[in-house]
Amino acid sequence: MLIVMQKDATPQQVENVVARVRSQGLSVHLSQGAERVVIGAIGDDRSVSKDQFMLLEGVDRVLPILRPYKLASREFSDTDTQVKIGEREVGGNAVVLIAGPCSVESRGQILEIAHAVREAGAHALRGGAYKPRTSPYSFQGLGAEGLELLAEARAATGLPIVTEVLATEQVQQVSQAADVLQIGARNMQNFALLHAIGETRKPALLKRGMSATVEELLMAAEYILSHGNRQVILCERGIRTFETATRNTTDINAVPVLKSLTHLPVLLDPSHSTGLWQFVTPVARAGIAAGADGLIIEVHPHPEEALSDGSQSLKPERFAELVRQVRAVAEAVGRTVAPPLGQPLPQERDNGRRPAF
């Protein structure tokens, strides 16, 4: 970190800061400007509180130099991490599609959707058994029964299951049914949960919090990674802004920004990031055009009867059309959509080429 002293800082104050830097095991480089002294603290200061220095007499500002995450950074790993979701891997050249209802509502519903999205080309089934709902009066999910229905849908279709875990005490139970553990936006900084998932060896799909910066998303990933679980998939799902025309604002910039900062795969969830089914397909296309490694899409055969998120759910036939359009865009940017389950992977499925960003 760099510590910028105030214009009128005394030599004694500078010396005091220097001593403090050294006491943290860091070495010091002093730089005397025209108006101010700048003190460079040299070494890995990720665990050192910057606040401490801000409060020392004579200090004007403290500027961090190192990014606060390490394992998630591109500097840690040159090659893109690929995470298995059933038969397919996300993070390679082939785009992966996850689709399904917001909530598991009934056996009939989840089986109908599972067959439909598999038919349309999805590579995994999403569906919530435990649902975080803003209102205590809204449908809260089927819980354990929902997990069983998801397992049944997997058995029937072969689709791996992506489902949300809401609390540490659910991790074990959900891990039995799920192929990928989803951490919802509201739990992105539920550090107890991140810790618990970091101790499993299940792939984790970490959604960006609705007011989390890209850096905070990477710090949340770092929690999981630093507890030993290296299979982390990031997901942009829209952020909260002043705009009310859509439920959230898709931060499309975050896609290439994340790809430049981290080796982890990056998905887009255009269902939540728009909140309105009419805009899901164009924003899905945009996500792939911007370099996302896959999409997670809400699909419901009868959105007007859905117990949650109906207004952002696509009907199966519209999802099939989305897949067609996304495939065309993926090819336009030098990628493919991963083949449907059961079909062989192309010989050379990843030539390492990727759109420059």
Q: Strand runs (DSSP E) across 78-220, as ranges?
A: 83-85, 88-90, 94-100, 124-126, 161-164, 180-183, 204-207
Q: What mask, x for binding its own copies by CB under 8 A, covers residues 57 to 96?
A: ----x-x-xx-xx-----x---------------------
Instruction: Classify strands 88-90 and 94-100 as parallel, antiparallel or unpaired.
Output: unpaired
CB of 97 to its own copies, least distance (A): 16
Query: In the stretch 311-340, what mask flags binding to its own copies with x, by CB under 8 A?
Result: x---------x---x--xx-xxx-------
Nearest to 332 by CA among 282, 271, 291: 291
Smallest distance, its own copies to C-beta of residue 152, A: 25
CB of 342 to its own copies, least distance (A): 26
Tokens of 79: 């090659």
Q: Judged by CB, which is closer to its own copies: 152, or 216?
A: 216
Q: Per-residue x/- marks for its own copies, 258-287, CB under 8 A?
A: --x------------xx--xxx-xxx-xxx
301 near its own copies (CB under 8 A): no
Sequence length of the chain is 357
What whole-number distance in Å separates Cα of residue 179 and Cα of residue 174? 9
The token duo for 126 is 């999403």
In angstroms, what is the minimal distance from the CB of 84 to its own copies?
A: 24
Is 24 near its own copies (CB under 8 A)?
Answer: no
Closest by alpha carbon to 221, among 79, 78, 69, 91? 69
CA distance 211 to 194: 18
Binders of its own copies among residues 133 to 172 (CB under 8 A) are 133-140, 166-170
Residue in 21, 56, 267, 323 binding its own copies, rule: CB under 8 A: 56
Site for its own copies in 162-221 (CB under 8 A): 166-170, 186-187, 189-193, 209-211, 213-216, 219
Q: Shortest gap between Cβ of 158 and its own copies (angstroms)?
A: 29
At residue 48, the 3 state secondary structure works out as: coil
Judged by CB under 8 A, the chain residues 222 through 241 that form the site for its own copies are 222-223, 226-227, 239-241
The alpha carbon of residue 105 and the mean position of all alpha carbons in its chain are separated, in whole angstroms, by: 25
Total of residues contacting its own copies (CB under 8 A): 117
Does residue number 3 form part of the binding site for its own copies (CB under 8 A)? no
- Quick one: which of 282, 284, 256, 281 has its CA closest to 268? 284
Residue 351, CA distances (Å) to 273, 336, 341, 343, 346 in order: 31, 11, 21, 19, 11
State which residue, 19 or 156, has the beta carbon closest to its own copies.
19
Minimum CB distance to its own copies, residue 256 (Å): 4
